[in-house]
Structure 1
Amino acid sequence: MRTSLRQLGIDTGYLLSMFFIALPSFIIGLVGTLLGVGTAVIWIGVPIAAATMFAMRGMAAAGRSMLPGVLGRELPRPRYKQAPEDASALRRFLTALTDGQSWLNVLWAVAVLPVSIAGFVIAVVWWAVTIATVTWPLWGWIVIAATGQSEQGLEIAATWLGWGDSYLAMSAVTLIAGAVMVLTIVPVIRGMAMAQALIGKGMLTSISGLHERIDQLEESRAAATSAEADALRRIERDIHDGPQQRLVGLGMELARVKRQLATNPEAAQETLESAIAQTRETIDELRSLSRGIAPPILTDRGLEAALAALSARSLVPVELETDLNGRYKAAVESTVYFVTAECLTNVAKHSRATKATVSVEDWGDRLVLSVGDNGVGGAHVSKGHGLSGLTDRVKAVEGQWTIDSPDGGPTVIVVEVPCV
Structure 2
Amino acid sequence: MTTTTAELPVSAGLPVAHEARRGWWRQLGIDTGYVLLAFPLSLLAFVLVVTGGAVGLGLTVVWIGLPVAVGTLLAARGFATAERSWLPAVLRTPVTRPVYRRPGPDAGRMRRLLAPMREPQYWMDALHAVLRLFVAVPAFVVTVVWWAITLAGLTSVTWDWSIPYDESGQPDNYTLPELIGMADTSINRVLLYTAIGVLFALTLPVVVRGCALAQAQLGRGLLSSRAATQAEIGRLSEGRDAAVAAEAVALRRLERDIHDGPQQRLVRLSMDLHRARRMVDSDPDGARATLEEAAAQTRETLEELRALSRGIAPPVLADRGLAAALAALAARSPVPVELAVALPPGQRLTPAVENSAYFLVSEALANVAKHSEATVSRVTVVCEDDRLRVVVEDDGRGGAVLAPGHGLAGLTDRLRAVDGVLTVDSPRGGPTRLIGELPCR
Give the TM-score category using the shorter length: 0.7 to 0.9
| Alignment correspondent of 1:28 | 48
SS of residue matched to 1:356: strand
Q: Flag structure 2 segments of 5+ consecutive residues without an equivalent.
A: 1-20, 168-172
Q: Equivalents in 2 of 1:409, 1:170: separation in Å?
A: 74
Displacement of 1:251 in angstroms is 4.4
Displacement of 1:332 in angstroms is 3.0
Larger displacement relative to structure 2 (407-416 or 40-49): 407-416
Larger displacement relative to structure 2 (386-395 or 277-286): 386-395
1:45 aligns with 2:65: yes
1:281-292 equivalent positions in 2, closer than 5 A:
281-292=300-311
1:267-346 equivalent positions in 2, closer than 5 A:
267-300=286-319, 302-303=321-322, 305-315=324-334, 316-317=336-337, 318-323=339-344, 329-346=350-367
Paired AA for residue 108 in structure 1: H
| Alignment correspondent of 1:398 | 419
SS of residue matched to 2:96: coil
Displacement of 1:220 in angstroms is 0.8
Larger displacement relative to structure 2 (262-271 or 76-85): 262-271
Q: Equivalents in 1 of 2:238, 2:114: separation in Å?
A: 32
Higher RCO (CA < 8 A, seq sep 6+) = 2
| Alignment correspondent of 1:95 | 115
Displacement of 1:323 in angstroms is 2.2
User: Are the counterparts in 2 of residues 323 and 362 from structure 1 also a CA contact under 8 Å?
Assistant: no
CA distances 1:127-165 after superposition (whole Å, capped 9, x unpaired): 222222212223333x14xx37699635537973xxx65
Displacement of 1:173 in angstroms is 2.5
1:12-161 equivalent positions in 2, closer than 5 A:
12-141=32-161, 143-144=162-163, 147=164, 153=175, 155-156=177-178, 160=182
* TM-score, normalised with respect to structure 1: 0.84
| Alignment correspondent of 2:269 | 250
SS of residue matched to 2:80: helix
Displacement of 1:193 in angstroms is 0.6
Displacement of 1:280 in angstroms is 0.6
| Alignment correspondent of 1:5 | 25
Q: 1:368 to 1:379 in 2, by over 3 A?
A: farther
Q: 1:188 to 1:402 in 2, by over 3 A?
A: farther
User: Are the counterparts in 1 of residues 149 and 200 from structure 2 also a CA contact under 8 Å?
Assistant: yes
Q: Aligned residues, how many?
A: 411
CA distances 1:52-83 after superposition (whole Å, capped 9, x unpaired): 12222212212222111111233222233433
Q: 1:261 to 1:6 in 2, by over 3 A?
A: same
Displacement of 1:189 in angstroms is 0.8
Displacement of 1:3 in angstroms is 0.9
SS of residue matched to 2:343: strand
| Alignment correspondent of 2:438 | 416
Q: 1:329 to 1:302 in 2, by over 3 A?
A: same
SS of residue matched to 1:359: strand
Q: Flag structure 1 segments of 5+ consecutive residues without an equivalent.
A: none
Displacement of 1:334 in angstroms is 2.1
Larger displacement relative to structure 2 (184-193 or 286-295): 286-295
* TM-score, normalised with respect to structure 2: 0.81
User: Are the counterparts in 2 of residues 21 and 62 from structure 1 also a CA contact under 8 Å?
Assistant: no
User: Are the counterparts in 2 of residues 133 and 175 from structure 1 also a CA contact under 8 Å?
Assistant: yes
Q: Equivalents in 2 of 1:347, 1:133: separation in Å?
A: 71
Paired AA for residue 230 in structure 1: V
SS of residue matched to 2:159: helix
Q: Equivalents in 2 of 1:353, 1:291: separation in Å?
A: 24
Paired AA for residue 219 in structure 2: G
SS of residue matched to 1:371: strand
CA distances 1:95-143 after superposition (whole Å, capped 9, x unpaired): 32232111111211111012112222222222222222212223333x1
1:228 aligns with 2:247: yes
| Alignment correspondent of 1:359 | 381
1:186 aligns with 2:205: yes
